[in-house]
Amino acid sequence: MCARGSGAIVPAMLTAKVVTVRGLVKRYGQRNVVDGVDLDVLEGEVVGLIGANGAGKTTTVECLQGLRRPDGGTLRVLGLDPVTEAARLRPLIGSQLQDSALPDRLRVAEAVELFTPRGGRGGDDLLARFGLGERRRSAFASLSGGERQRLFLVLALLGGPRLVILDELTQGLDPAARRNVWEAVRQLRDQGTTVLLVTHELADAEALCDRVMAMRAGRILDSGPPAELVDRHARRATIRFGLEAATDSEALLDELSEAVGVDHVERQGGRVTVYGHRQAIAYVGAALVRGGSVPADLSVAIPSLEDALLGLLDGADTPGRCGDRAREHHLIGAVR
C-alpha cells in the first residue's frame, strides 16, 4: 500500500493528482510567509508537510482550503480553484485545523450532527471506530486532549471527503494518545484516503507518511519518502559490538571494512564500531554469523527523520546543501 523508500512499488491508485500547487506566494505585510511553494499530492498518498513553527505550513494549507487568498501562484485541489470555487471545494475536504475548537457545551453527538453534510451518514460508526461511542453525550469541554483530536478526526471524515488535511494533529498529546491518533491515520491510509499531514513533529511524519516535504521560511527545501530523506541527510547507520576472545579479530575487521555499504570501521580496545549505509547492517550481521560468533552486545543505531532533518528545518544547515531551487524542482518532478 505504501510507497516508502526509493524504488518502492507505486500502486496504481497513486496516479491522479489531488493537489497541484505552483509558485504559491502568501504575504503578511511585507513578509513572504509562503515563498514560491510547489507541491503535488497524489490520490491515496499520505503526504507530510513538515517544518518548524512559522515555516509557512499552516498558511499553505489554509490557501489550499480557500481560507486565505494567495498573493501569487496557481492552486488546484481536486480539480477546483480554492479561491474562486471554495464553496464547491470545502465539502470535498475534511479538515482538522490547528488551534481551533468547538463550543465548550456542544456535545459529541451534536457536533457530529452539526458537521454532517446534507445526506451524509455514518457518524455513529465513525464515533465507534475512533473510540468515542461512549462519549456521545459528553460536552466538548469535558473531553481529554486525545479525545478532542479523535473527535476532530471524526468530524473531518464525515461525508467521506476525498482529501483530509490534518494540521498538528498530535499537538499536546501524551504518548498513548498520540499512538491512538497514529492508528486512526493508518486506518485512513488503509482505506485509500488521501491525507495531507501538517506537523512539526517529525516522529509523526516518519511514522505515517509515504512522502514528506520539508519547509523552512516559506520554501520547500527537500522532499521524498522519509527513508530517502534520512539517507540523504544522515546516511550512517552505526553498528556496535564487543569482540569475543576467540575471534580472529583482524580477519573479521578486514572483512567488515570490505562489506557492502560500510564506510568506516573503528576499534577501541575490545569494542568495534562500524559506520555505513543501512545496507551495511545486513552485511555486517552476515559476516558475524559466518565468523561463528554473534556478539551478545550487538547494537544498531539508525538515524531517525528527526536526526536527519533537525538541522535543515531549524536553519542550521547551509542553504547551498539542500535549498537550491534546481534540486527542489528535481525532487518534486520525481513524483509527477
Partner 1 sequence: MTTSFGRLLKAELKLLVRDPLVLTFVFVFPVLTMLIIGGSFGTKPDPGFADRNPSHWYVASYLTVVIAATGLIMLPVHLASYRERGVLRRFAAAGFPRWSFALAQLVVGLVAVAAASALELGVAAPVYGIPALHEGGRVALGIGLGAIAFVSIGVLLGTLLPSARAAQAVGLMLFFPSFLLGAGGPPPHALGATMRGIANLLPLTQVTDAIRDPWLGLGTASGSLIVVAALAAAASVLAARRATL
Which residues contribute to the site for partner 1 (CB under 8 A)? 65, 67, 87, 90-91, 93, 95, 97, 99-103, 105-106, 110, 113-119, 155
What's the closest the beta carbon of residue 88 comes to partner 1, in angstroms? 9
CB-based contacts of 274, cutoff 8 Å, min separation 6: 238, 239, 240, 256, 262, 264, 265, 266, 280, 284
For partner 1, which is the closer residue by CB, 173 or 253? Answer: 173
What's the closest the beta carbon of residue 258 comes to partner 1, in angstroms? 57
For partner 1, which is the closer residue by CB, 95 or 193? Answer: 95
CB-based contacts of 123, cutoff 8 Å, min separation 6: 109, 112, 113, 116, 154, 158
Give the rounded distance of the alpha carbon of 244 from its chain centre. Answer: 42
User: E-assigned strands of the chain?
Assistant: 17-28, 31-42, 46-50, 72-77, 93-96, 163-167, 194-199, 211-216, 219-224, 237-242, 262-268, 271-276, 299-301
What's the closest the beta carbon of residue 114 comes to partner 1, in angstroms? 5
Burial code (b: 16+ CB inside 10 Å, e: under 16) for 169-194 equals: bbeebeeebbebbbebbeebbeeebb
What's the closest the beta carbon of residue 328 comes to partner 1, in angstroms? 29
For partner 1, which is the closer residue by CB, 95 or 149? Answer: 95
What's the closest the beta carbon of residue 77 comes to partner 1, in angstroms? 13
For partner 1, which is the closer residue by CB, 148 or 211? Answer: 148
Of 237, 211, 236, 189, residue with least CA distance to 4: 211
For partner 1, which is the closer residue by CB, 71 or 110? Answer: 110
Task: Write out the H or E segment, with its range, that includes residue 5.
Answer: none
What's the closest the beta carbon of residue 104 comes to partner 1, in angstroms? 9
